Each structure stands twice: as C-alpha cells, then as structure tokens.
Amino acid sequence: MKIALDAMGGDFAPQAAVAGAVLAAEQLAGKATIVLIGQEEAVRPLLLEHGSAADALEFVPASQVIDMGEHPAKAFQQKQDSSIAVGYKLLHSGAVDAFCSAGNTGAMLVGAVFTVKAVTGVLRPAIANFVPKLNDGFGILLDVGANAECKPEMLEQFGELGSLYAQYVLGIERPKVGLMNLGEEEGKGTPLTQAAHQLLKVNPHIHFVGNIEGRDLFNDKADVIVCDGFTGNILLKMAESIYDMMDDKKIHDPFFDKFNYEAVGGSPILGINDNAIIGHGRSTPFAISNMLLQGYHMAQSGIADQIKDTFKS
C-alpha cells in the first residue's frame, strides 16, 4: 500500500512534511510506503538530512507549488505540475492508495472533484472533522467547510457518508447520526434543518437519533453530527481556539487534549471515489505523521468502495 504526501503543503513545508513522513514511515514499516511529492530542489536535501531514516520514503517530483492564498480552481488548473495536481494524478491512476496534504484546502477540494471525482449519486462531497468525545474516542462532524450553503438532500447524504466513515474507519458498529440544530424538538430550526430532519428520519441506511444541540457536540448523543459547512466550520474553529487558549494557559487534561488537531491529523473528504485527506495549514511533523496514519487506515478500510456501493443503489 502507498500513501502519498504533498511535501510542499502547509505553513512549515517542506520541513514539517518531510519530518512527518519520516515519523509515519517508521510506524507503517512493512505495511505501507510513504510517497513524497514536491520540488526536487526543496525535498532532496531534506531527505539527505534525515539520512537512513528517509530510505523507506519514495519521492515523486512536482515542479510547481500552489500557495495557501491562491485561488483554488484557477491555481489547480494552471499548475498541472503542482504537488497537489501530481498527487491527485497518482491517486486517480491507482499508483497510490491515499493522498494527504496540509496545503491549500480549496485546491485539495477542487482537485478531488476534477480528478478522482464525486461518487455517482453524491450531490456534494463533504469535509469531515473529528470531534473528541467526553467518554471515549471520537465522533465526526460534517460538513466543516466544503459547502457553505446546503440543501436538505445534502445534509441527508452527509448523514450517510459520516455514518459509513464512523462504521468502517472508526469501527463504531451502529453509528448514531444527529442533526445539529437549535433545539431538540422535531419542528425546531431553519427550513433547511426542518426539511433535512424529515429526510434523515426515514433514511434506511442510517441510525438517526434526531436533533442535537451545541451542548451535545462532545457527549454520546450522536457519533456523527450533520450540519451545513458554514456552521461546521465555525464550530470547528471555535473548538480549536479553546484548545489553543488552554494550551497557552498550560491547562492540560486527557479529554481537552483531544481537541488538539495534531493528534488526529487531518480531515477526510468524503463522497469522492478515493481517499484524500486535508491537513491543518499549521501542521507540525506530529500532525503530518498522524494524517498519514489516518490515510493508511482509511485506505485499508475500503471506505471509498463502501460509499460507492451505498450510493449505487
């Protein structure tokens, strides 16, 4: 199995990317190979620095870089030899089994939709994010930003996509799906959440537990929390800020430490025909390494095929 990494993606690339790849390669030895993609002149010297620890890594050159501030669609189309474009080409051709990048989020999304494409039947792929649970483990929240505005049918599908991910990647047997709303009662919310509630309620593929509220994000009411990308993005960034403020204040606790994005790695794009993961812009080597491990588990789980099977019918 091969897991590709955009060596040029992220605020601390390529150093953090290469160091993260070395860390992940140690842990995946005998199970998967890490493939670094990036500018030869930037990456080669770093591989030499890491010495024999870097021997297990493969390298694929890509002459261009999509910067964090570039317009995603424009940059992706104009820079066909960028590390992100090359990564998706490798993924689409089957040369690698997962592609991870802490680079331009928009370009990662555009690349996913242009190359490996959305699964037939999926209206819009979503970005999922891990949510630490107070009692144990993680749940997932989606969408966290791919779709600022959603239709009810999209929220319904996010419930299905998230449920499959929770089941096949997180190993939760019958994931509980909750709809983020401003009240628990069925009639509460906006026209969007009211309509989505009705769709989710009768969807036979999921175990819908109804509306949940902002206070339920971290409890056990739902393993999969569905919302539009606007709400999800704001919640996610707020949760990250809570961790940052606690860390600044040297407040540490096993539960709150799970808010640290570094511990989980990245956010999978769900609803596409392959495995792609977007990392945090400020990813450290530890975060990069965890994103690669996550890419390995995702590829191993066969989640993309499960999604294709579900939406075929």
Out of 149, 202, 204, 312, point to the residue binding a second copy (CB under 8 A): 149
Residues 65-104: x where in contact with a second copy by CB under 8 A, - otherwise, as a string: ----------------------------------------
The residue (of 138 and 256) whose beta carbon lies closer to a second copy is 256
Could you say whether residue 11 binds a second copy (CB under 8 A)?
Answer: no
Question: For the chain, percent helix, then strand, then coil, each to nearest 5?
Answer: 45, 20, 35
The residue (of 31 and 252) whose beta carbon lies closer to a second copy is 252
Could you say whether residue 216 binds a second copy (CB under 8 A)?
Answer: yes
Beta-strand pair 224-226/176-180:
parallel
Out of 11, 55, 148, 220, point to the residue binding a second copy (CB under 8 A): 148
Out of 1, 29, 95, 134, point to the residue binding a second copy (CB under 8 A): 134
Q: What is the spatial order of strands in the sheet that 98-101 belongs to?
A: 58-61, 33-38, 2-6, 98-101, 276-279, 266-270, 126-132, 138-142, 224-226, 176-180, 207-212
Comparing C-alpha atoms, which of 129, 157, 133, 159 is closest to residue 144? 129
Q: Which stretch binds a second copy (CB under 8 A): 114-122, 161-169, 189-197, 303-311?
A: 189-197
- With a CB cutoff of 8 Å and minimum separation 6, the contacts of 109 are 72, 125, 127, 146, 269, 278
What does the alpha-carbon distance between residue 90 and residue 223 come to, in Å, rounded to a whole number?
33
> What secondary structure letter does DSSP report for 112?
I
The residue (of 124 and 188) whose beta carbon lies closer to a second copy is 188
Out of 38, 111, 178, 229, point to the residue binding a second copy (CB under 8 A): 229
Tell me which residues touch a second copy (CB under 8 A): 134, 145, 148-149, 180-182, 188-191, 193, 213-219, 229-231, 233-242, 244-246, 249, 251, 253, 255-256
